[in-house]
């Protein structure tokens, strides 16, 4: 494989892993606060639809990304109202959010099916971007990639090194103790859920603005669910999300290349690779560690303030 | 502003019935607003969705036939959800059930295997294969959860995609009709491999009777059997259940087996009763809609029966609305999502007194 091809493969792996990484990071923060939001797929696809519509109408991918973030946050706010405000079962509410999001995005996006726009601009630093092998990889990505890595770094710092991050983890491990200590449990959880929605919306916008130059119904194709699995795979640690996302992105790209190379394997089998890989990854992880030792202790539990 | 929740002392029958009914009414109202925003007439949409299908005999039968898979799947899911086990992959178990049972329909095509003994055994064997296939497929997430502690939510969902791709592969390959001009579909089944109709010249097939049977059986199990008590106890008071010596693992496997078998049965009923051959897509999302049915029916068998009819109505009405009003099919999806949220909110309202308090707070 020539260096150019090798670099191209690495570039596509980064591109394929970005939506997974960004969405998983947002979900990770929400889960560290004790909220399991199964609506990632729904928030993501709304981000993709709204993001594309806004970018198409305004002509600016930046406005598209912002609109995608806003759509994800609006969906997350709805989820927060249900699970945090009304103490509704998080699994059921998350499923409702996904079903709703998939349907609504199809409705809102129906006018935009088949339209195309140009991809998002890539960074170009004269000299540096032209370096062999790593030039494009480090200095020639689109804005989403840099934003994604920045988000991971900030989330890692926030969760591990800040007082507010400590409070958030306390809320996720034991909301009752946190409440007794005077921490605002429900506000913390709501903000964490909003952050998760913003990330999912951004990840969705990435799909329709940078990954492909168009919108199509159902285009997230289960990526929201894979992002949920990635959080488990990453043992709820931000930097491990990067690793997991690159592995999954790699699997996806490998599958596309294998399909193109026509190895004689059925296309359906190759398409099933990301889903099979998810199950295998969850199995390997659970077999290797003590059972759910890394999970936030109160993950998925609703909290009703004692009176 | 914040929301204060105060637990209600007891549950009243009025709330138990009123809450889902109110949720349905509210969801229809919200759906009407969406239709209005899309520039169509909400009143006309309401007629097409919820009234016209109920006005004629044949469309009433269509509703019952559509409700059949929803009710079968949702009854199974109610076992899982009551026990706090989250099988959200019924769609995949449905597909595998349809595939396993449908395989028999394909290999017995053209009188094969029917010779001296006749074809009477084919339909029962198909139903059995369908239920078995669904149950075995459901064992994957169940055993992974029990043995390795892997979240059943994620594995059961991933298996949906894998089942759909598997069906697609087989229908385009091994199970394709060799004389079908390369269309991705199997041979059409012999009459001996079709579920019988309940009455001559009508649309209702025997699957509808099976769905009613499942409702009655589940109601009996929940009300009268030790197993039903176990399921309820583990869901409502897991600590007490552990003290009572009930095994979490055994129960997880049991409820997954039940829901998988019923979803598989629904799958083969759809394939053998409705479609009559294997095609790449055999479900318009029944497995996911059944989750809504289970919650709208408050996880009780008779509630699920009613809820299944309501959701079937949205499918039939949705198809009609596509033609009459040019409303896209996603409208049905979005409405179903709205409905589930309203149902969950109504549940919360039945459990707590909800008060809006001004000022900020935790």
The answer to the question of residue A229 being in a domain is yes
* Cα–Cα distance for residue pair A187/A258, rounded to 1 Å: 47
Q: Quickly name the fold that domain B64-325 has.
A: ABC transporter involved in vitamin B12 uptake, BtuC (1.10.3470)
Q: pLDDT per residue over A222-260, tens digit each? A: 899 999 989 988 889 999 999 999 988 888 888 777 777
B210-256, pLDDT tens digit by residue? 999 999 999 999 999 999 888 888 878 878 888 888 888 899 999 99
> Looking at the partner chain, which of A95, A276, A283 has a beta carbon nearest the beta carbon of B162?
A276
pLDDT at B362: 46
Three-state DSSP at A121 gives coil
Q: Which residue does chain B place closest to A292, by CA atoms?
A: B149
Does A290 score more than 60 pLDDT? no
Q: Please give the average per-residue pLDDT across B170-197, as a whole number.
A: 87
This complex has an ipTM of 0.87
Residue A26 Cα distances to A191, B155, B156, angstroms: 11, 21, 23
Closest CA to A220 of A69, A76, A49: A49
pLDDT over 90 percentage in chain A: 45
Q: Closest Cα partner for A86 from B9, B316, B353, B300?
A: B353
* B352 phi and psi angles, rounded to 5 deg: -125, 155
pLDDT tens digits, A279-289: 988 888 777 66
DSSP state of A214: B
Under the banding of pLDDT at 50, 70 and 90, the label for residue B196 is confident
**Over the stretch A64-95, which tens digit does the pLDDT of each residue have?**
999 999 999 999 999 999 999 998 989 889 99
pLDDT over threshold 60, residue B276: yes
Contact B155 A179 (CB under 8 A): no
Query: Is residue A301 included in any domain, yes or no?
Result: no
Cα Rg of chain A, angstroms: 19
Q: Is residue A307 part of a domain?
A: no
Contact (Cβ atoms closer than 8 angstroms) between residue B101 and residue B134: no
Q: Quick check: is A252 in a domain?
A: yes
Would you tell me which residues 284-303 of chain A have a C-beta closer than 8 angstroms to some C-beta of chain B? 286-287, 291-292
- Calpha distance A179→A187 (Å, rounded): 11
**Does B360 have pLDDT greater than 70?**
no
- Torsional sign, CA B132, B138, B142, B143: positive
Q: What was the pLDDT predicted at B198? A: 81
Question: Where do the H-state alpha helices sit in chain B?
Answer: 13-37, 42-46, 57-82, 90-107, 122-148, 152-172, 206-224, 226-236, 238-243, 248-269, 286-296, 301-324, 330-351
Q: Decide: B316 and B99 in contact? Cβ < 8 Å.
A: no
Angle made by CA atoms B82, B86, B90, in degrees to the nearest 5? 105
Return the residue of B nearest to A187 by Cα.
B362
Within 8 A by CB and 6+ apart from A14, the residues are: A137, A141, A145, A246, A249
Domain with CATH 1.10.3470 in chain B: 64-325
The whole-number average pLDDT for the span A163-174 is 91
pLDDT of residue B359: 62
- When pLDDT is averaged across residues B338-344 and rounded to a whole number, the result is 91
Residue A293 resides in a domain: no
**What's the domain range around A272?**
3-288
Q: What is the pLDDT of residue A252?
A: 81
Q: Distance between CA B212 and CA B230 in Å, rounded?
A: 24
* Separation of alpha carbons A129 and B171, rounded Å: 48
Average pLDDT over residues B165-180: 89
Looking at every residue in chain A, the average pLDDT score rounds to: 87
pLDDT at residue A301, as a whole number: 84
Tokens representing residue B169 in the block: 């592969």
| Per-residue model confidence (pLDDT) at position A24 | 96
In the prediction, which pLDDT does A291 show?
53
A237 in contact with B at a CB cutoff of 8 Å?
A: no
Mean residue pLDDT of chain B comes to 88
pLDDT (0 to 100) of residue A67: 95
Whether B96 and B134 have beta carbons less than 8 Å apart is answered as yes
The span from the CA of A53 to the CA of B210, in Å, is 46
Residue partners of B36: CB distance under 8 A and separation at least 6: B42
Answer yes or no: is A295 within a domain.
no
- Residue B304, pLDDT score: 95
The pLDDT tens digits of the residues spanning B298-312 come to 899 999 999 999 999
Residue A153: the pLDDT is: 93
pLDDT in tens, A5-55: 777 888 888 888 999 999 999 999 999 999 999 999 999 999 999 999 999
Q: Given pLDDT bands bounded at 50, 70 and 90, which one contains residue B20?
A: confident
The domain total for chain A is: 1
Statement: residue B73 has pLDDT above 90: yes
Show the tokens assigned to B30: 């919200």
Q: Is residue A223 part of a domain?
A: yes
Cα dihedral A72/A77/A82/A85 (nearest 10): 160
Best of B19, B141, B151, B166 to disrupt the A interface by mutation (most A CBs within 10 Å)?
B151
Question: What are residue A97's phi and psi, to 5 degrees?
Answer: -65, -40
Q: What is the pLDDT of residue A41?
A: 95
Residue A106 to residue B334, Cβ atoms within 8 A: yes
Structure tokens, B51: 């009234």
Q: What is the largest CA-CA distance in chain A?
A: 68
The enclosing H or E element of B2 equals: strand B2-7
Nearest to B347 among A88, A101, A304 (CB): A88
């Amino acid at each position: 494989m020539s260096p150019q091809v090798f670099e191209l493969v690495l570039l596509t792996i980064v591109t394929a892993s970005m939506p997974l990484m960004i969405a998983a990071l947002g979900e990770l923060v929400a889960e560290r606060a004790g909220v399991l939001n199964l609506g990632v797929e729904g928030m993501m696809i709304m981000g993709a639809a709204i993001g594309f519509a806004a970018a198409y109408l305004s002509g600016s991918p930046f406005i598209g990304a912002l609109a995608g973030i806003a759509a994800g946050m609006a969906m997350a706010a709805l989820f927060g109202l249900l699970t945090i405000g009304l103490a509704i079962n998080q699994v059921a509410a998350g499923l409702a959010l996904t079903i709703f999001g998939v349907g609504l995005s199809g409705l809102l996006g129906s006018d935009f099916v088949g339209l195309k726009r140009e991809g998002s601009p890539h960074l170009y630093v004269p000299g540096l971007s032209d370096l062999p092998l790593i030039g494009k990889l480090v200095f020639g990505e689109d804005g989403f990639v840099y934003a994604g890595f920045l988000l991971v770094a900030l989330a890692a710092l926030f969760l591990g090194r800040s007082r507010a991050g400590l409070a958030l983890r306390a809320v996720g491990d034991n909301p009752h103790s946190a409440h007794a200590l005077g921490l605002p449990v429900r506000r913390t959880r709501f903000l964490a859920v909003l952050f998760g929605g913003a990330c999912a919306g951004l990840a969705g916008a990435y799909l329709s603005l940078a990954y492909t130059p168009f919108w199509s119904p159902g285009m997230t194709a289960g990526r929201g669910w894979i992002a949920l699995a990635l959080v488990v795979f990453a043992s709820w640690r931000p930097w491990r999300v990067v690793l997991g996302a690159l592995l999954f992105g790699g699997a996806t790209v490998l599958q596309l290349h294998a399909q193109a190379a026509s190895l004689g394997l059925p296309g359906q089998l190759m398409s099933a690779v990301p889903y099979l890989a998810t199950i295998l990854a969850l199995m390997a992880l659970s077999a290797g560690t003590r059972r759910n030792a890394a999970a936030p202790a109160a993950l998925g539990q609703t909290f009703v303030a004692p009176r | 502003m914040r929301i204060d929740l105060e637990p209600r002392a007891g549950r009243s029958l009025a709330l138990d019935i009123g809450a889902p009914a109110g949720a349905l009414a509210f969801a229809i109202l919200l759906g009407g607003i969406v239709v209005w925003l899309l520039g169509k007439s909400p009143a006309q949409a309401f007629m097409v969705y919820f009234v016209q299908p109920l006005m004629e005999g044949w469309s009433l039968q269509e509703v019952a036939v559509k409700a059949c898979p929803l009710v079968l799947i949702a009854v199974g899911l109610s076992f899982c959800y009551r026990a706090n086990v989250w099988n959200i992959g019924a769609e995949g178990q449905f597909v595998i059930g349809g595939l396993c049972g449908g395989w028999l329909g394909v290999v017995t095509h053209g009188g094969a295997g029917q010779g001296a003994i006749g074809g009477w055994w084919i339909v029962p064997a198909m139903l059995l294969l369908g239920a078995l296939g669904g149950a075995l497929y459901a064992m994957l997430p169940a055993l992974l959860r029990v043995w390795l502690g892997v979240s059943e939510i994620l594995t059961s969902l991933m298996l949906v995609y894998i089942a759909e791709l598997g069906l697609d592969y087989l229908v385009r390959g091994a199970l394709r009709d060799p004389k079908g001009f390369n269309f991705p579909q199997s041979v059409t089944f012999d009459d001996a491999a079709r579920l019988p109709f309940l009455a001559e010249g009508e649309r209702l097939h025997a699957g509808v009777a099976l769905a009613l049977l499942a409702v009655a059986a589940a109601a009996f199990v929940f009300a009268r059997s030790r197993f039903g008590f176990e399921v309820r106890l583990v869901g409502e008071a897991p600590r007490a259940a552990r003290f009572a010596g009930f095994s979490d693992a055994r129960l997880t496997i049991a409820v997954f087996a039940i829901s998988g078998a019923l979803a598989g049965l629904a799958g083969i009923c759809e394939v053998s009763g409705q479609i009559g051959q294997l095609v790449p897509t055999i479900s318009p999302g029944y497995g996911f809609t059944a989750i809504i049915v289970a919650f709208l029916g408050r996880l009780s068998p008779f509630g699920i029966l009613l809820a299944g009819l309501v959701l079937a109505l949205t499918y039939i009405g949705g198809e009609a609305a596509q033609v009459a009003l040019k409303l896209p099919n996603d409208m049905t999806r979005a409405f179903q999502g709205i409905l589930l949220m309203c149902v969950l909110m109504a549940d919360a309202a039945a459990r707590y007194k909800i008060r809006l308090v001004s000022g900020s707070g935790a």
